[in-house]
Amino acid sequence: MKGHQVTIKDIAKILHISPSTVSRALKDHPDINPQTKKNVQDLAKKLNYKPNLVALSLLQQESKIIGVIIPEIIHYFFSTVISGIEKVANEAGYHIIIAQSNESYYKEVENVQALLSSNIDGFIISMAKTTMQFDHFKNIEEIGVPMVFFDRSCDVVNADRVIVDDFDGAYKATKHLIDNGCKNIIHLAGPLNLDIGKKRKEGYLAALNESNLPIHDYSIQICDTKEQALQLIPELLRRHPLIDGIFAVNDLTAVGAIKAIKSIHKDVPNDILVVGFENSFISQISEPELTTIDQKGFEMGQNAARLLLKRIHSNENYGPVTTILNTELVQRKSSMKN
Amino acid sequence: MKGHQVTIKDIAKILHISPSTVSRALKDHPDINPQTKKNVQDLAKKLNYKPNLVALSLLQQESKIIGVIIPEIIHYFFSTVISGIEKVANEAGYHIIIAQSNESYYKEVENVQALLSSNIDGFIISMAKTTMQFDHFKNIEEIGVPMVFFDRSCDVVNADRVIVDDFDGAYKATKHLIDNGCKNIIHLAGPLNLDIGKKRKEGYLAALNESNLPIHDYSIQICDTKEQALQLIPELLRRHPLIDGIFAVNDLTAVGAIKAIKSIHKDVPNDILVVGFENSFISQISEPELTTIDQKGFEMGQNAARLLLKRIHSNENYGPVTTILNTELVQRKSSMKN
DNA sequence: CCTATTGTTTCAAACGTTTGCGAAATGAAT
DNA sequence: ATTCATTTCGCAAACGTTTGAAACAATAGG
């Protein structure tokens, strides 16, 4: 079925010279007769010769491919990260192969194994929510393939990391709500086994403590999807009508909260202020538009790729590097009372 | 830097047998002594042996990798397609390598060339908006690498295709507006060099003609981004106040239109009805939620992958297959007058 | 005429794996 | 003792490319 890419051997045969001469001619090696060089290069162009990267991979033990393992590509944040990775990788002559874990530990392990078989030059990974064992990452470490985590990182493994300052972002978000008059702010939190869940919660608590605002037993709710928010919020607000601010662990949950609030005929921002975390696309679609913390997906991807490339090209074995990106508060209507 | 994956040679050396014996032992070849087999398999497991797929690629001239070239991964539609592709591909033991054209013809050509070098087993492609030459696709065809187009396809090349019934979808959308009382419906159209732009426009026109509604010189506007809609719509509505329905070529443009309409203090759906095309994520975020045509991204991806795998595994050279997916009207608030 | 030098080309090995074929060893049958 | 079959294994080639070393030719210097 599949035809035949032109190879160095083909060219060699046609010109009655050896493959090694062709190889050298193509890369302008000084040893080669200018006339031979020209013949080879002309023919190569004419036949549309393209070097076989697989053969090169095998020979040079590098594939120029970076494996990216993420939970779900449909999340805006992850797709922006991918764009950032791809940009930097392409500029350095690398390609990326993407595998989704769909938030499943097993799929994640499978992906790691499969990519390890493919002579990947390095990994860029954001962990699945359900991952609580780390042997597959340790496996990567043992083999010596460079690996960079972003956003959701695994701290029992030696690897570079790129994260945003989740604590500070959460602090800023909460402080912003406090500054705008909120007295009873709840936090819709992510899973606390993930660093981002923990850190954002801590930033939230720090801001409350600093302003001596009370923390109730209902102040922190594990709730990080739109659906969960739609279900949880109406009942919660009924029971605790004094809630006047919501800080959600991500934008989608925040939008779910806004929709829920509207559904019980309360108003955002006049009754309750809402802040998200991500600055995703939907924050500009939402009504009112959502105040949020910019999570810098594209920059994160670029930084992750840069860290990885540096690691790939380095001979020394320097210790793990962690890059922490600054977050930024993006103010929109959902936190601006009229 | 990079360590050493365990190879068949390593195992052979340790057990003082030849690589070929190891290879056969690992795949339960009947020629091999059961005891040897056991030794090999045990050691392989112990050393965590993983076959080197690059070597296999080179030998068998297939990489078990599918190249996917899409305009932009951040678009919800494309990411759902990718998920569909990945699911089917993974089930068949394939992985996907993703390259974005960012709607640039040049980047698209580059990507094709690069992937051709990587012994890709097949391509799944959605063309960039700016692509009007097709030599790079013809190149793929000549070499004989299977190729499937989805959504935005190129008809000067022999290849399988998966598309939605754009004409019918557009017809349904427009008909829906007419049925709900619209008399002056405009169409925000995509680039007319793309099939989807053409077909959706034609479906729109067909519905208008069928109901004997007049078509004005301003009825069709080339406008397929949120930003363009935000800029275009207010002025357009000022000049033509009788417009009472908008059918946009995609959801994002529709949302832009809704925002624009609100900005001049008109109401959706009470003054103007709006319908999009895609059934993207944002159609449920928008206020009011957006009526739209489901473009079946996930199914499209699955179908594209299935067509490609069939082509890869087939020896005959059957003619190009086109799969047309049915669209579906998803009714939401943006087209339901109170 | 021999040696050294330079310019040009080829050889062979290597990367990891598979596989047709041949080889060695064993045992059984003649 | 010879032949034959069976069991088990290794050799070598192949995939496409690169690269150090060797080979060859031609020329110049002595």
pLDDT computed for residue A1 by the predictor:
45
Distance B32 CA to D6 C1' (A): 13
Tokens (6 digits) for B48 = 């965590």
Residue B195: count of CB within 10 angstroms of its CB: 20
Which residues of chain A have a CB within 8 Å of the CB of B48? 139
Quick check: B338 pLDDT over 80?
A: no
A118–B1 CB contact, under 8 Å: no
Instruction: Identify the residue whose tokens are 């508060």.
Output: A329
Quick check: A120 pLDDT over 60?
A: yes
Quick check: A86 pLDDT over 70?
A: yes
A314–B142 CB contact, under 8 Å: no
pLDDT above 90 covers a percentage of chain A that reads 82
Residue B1's pLDDT band (boundaries 50, 70, 90)? very low
Residue A271: count of CB within 10 angstroms of its CB: 15
Predicted confidence (pLDDT) per residue in B100-159, tens digit: 999 999 999 999 998 988 889 999 999 998 899 999 999 999 888 999 999 988 888 999
Lowest mean pLDDT among A13-17, A42-46, A74-78, B314-318: B314-318
Predicted confidence (pLDDT) per residue in A265-274, tens digit: 999 999 999 9
Tell me the CATH number for domain B61-164+297-326. Answer: 3.40.50.2300
Phi then psi dihedrals of residue A286, to 5 deg: -50, 150
The DSSP letter of residue B284 is: G
Residue B304's pLDDT band (boundaries 50, 70, 90)? very high
**Residues 6+ positions from B273 with CB-CB distance below 8 Å:** B177, B180, B181, B182, B244, B245, B246, B291, B334, B335, B337
Distance A34 CA to D26 C1' (A): 17
B281–A282 CB contact, under 8 Å: yes
Q: Which residue, among A54, A139, A145, would best test binding to B if mutated, counting the most B CBs under 10 Å from its CB?
A: A54
pLDDT computed for residue A273 by the predictor:
97
Nearest nt to the B34 alpha carbon by C1': D8
Domain topology for B166-294+330-335: Rossmann fold (3.40.50)
Quick check: A264 pLDDT over 70?
A: yes
Quick check: A119 pLDDT over 90?
A: no
Domains of chain B, by residue range, sit at 8-51, 61-164+297-326, 166-294+330-335
Question: Does nucleic acid strand C have an atom less than 7 angstroms from the CB of B118?
Answer: no
Distance B324 CA to D17 C1' (A): 43
Predicted confidence (pLDDT) per residue in B239-263, tens digit: 999 999 999 999 999 999 999 999 9
A1–B146 CB contact, under 8 Å: yes
- DSSP alpha helices (H): ranges in chain A? 8-15, 19-26, 34-47, 53-60, 76-91, 105-117, 135-143, 166-179, 195-210, 226-239, 251-263, 297-313
d(CA A50, CA B117): 6
Quick check: B2 pLDDT over 80?
A: no
Q: Return the beta strands (E) in B111-184 as ranges.
A: 122-125, 147-150, 160-164
pLDDT computed for residue A256 by the predictor:
96
pLDDT computed for residue A3 by the predictor:
61
Distance A43 CA to C4 C1' (A): 37
Please, which positions of strand C sit below 7 A from a protein CB? 7-12, 14-21
The stretch A132-136 carries a mean pLDDT of 92
Distance A40 CA to D28 C1' (A): 31
Q: How far is B36 from chain A (nearest CA, A)?
A: 25
Q: State which H helix or E strand residue B168 sits in.
A: helix B166-179
Domain topology for A166-295+330-335: Rossmann fold (3.40.50)
Predicted confidence (pLDDT) per residue in B180-239, tens digit: 999 999 999 999 888 889 999 999 999 999 999 999 999 999 999 999 999 999 999 999
Average pLDDT over chain A, rounded to an integer: 93
Between residue 40 and residue 99 of chain B, the positions with Cβ below 7 Å from nucleic chain C are: 49, 51-52, 55-56, 58-60
Domain topology for A63-164+297-327: Rossmann fold (3.40.50)
Quick check: A251 pLDDT over 90?
A: yes
CA contacts within 13 A on the Cβ side of A190: 24
B74–A79 CB contact, under 8 Å: yes
The stretch A59-88 carries a mean pLDDT of 93
pLDDT computed for residue B49 by the predictor:
92
Predicted confidence (pLDDT) per residue in A207-222, tens digit: 999 999 999 999 999 9
Q: How far is B95 from chain A (nearest CA, A)?
A: 8
Phi then psi dihedrals of residue B208, to 5 deg: -65, -45
A265: left (phi over 0), alpha (psi -120 to 50) or beta: left
**Matching fold, domains B61-164+297-326 and B166-294+330-335:** yes
How many Cβ pairs closer than 8 A exist between chain A and B?
148
Q: Which residue, among A62, A96, A108, A117, would best test binding to B if mutated, counting the most B CBs under 10 Å from its CB?
A: A117
Of B99, B281, B287, nearest to A287 by CB-CB distance is: B287
Q: Which residue, among A26, A79, A282, would best test binding to B if mutated, counting the most B CBs under 10 Å from its CB?
A: A79
d(CA A165, CA A225): 22
The DSSP letter of residue B333 is: G
B117–A52 CB contact, under 8 Å: yes
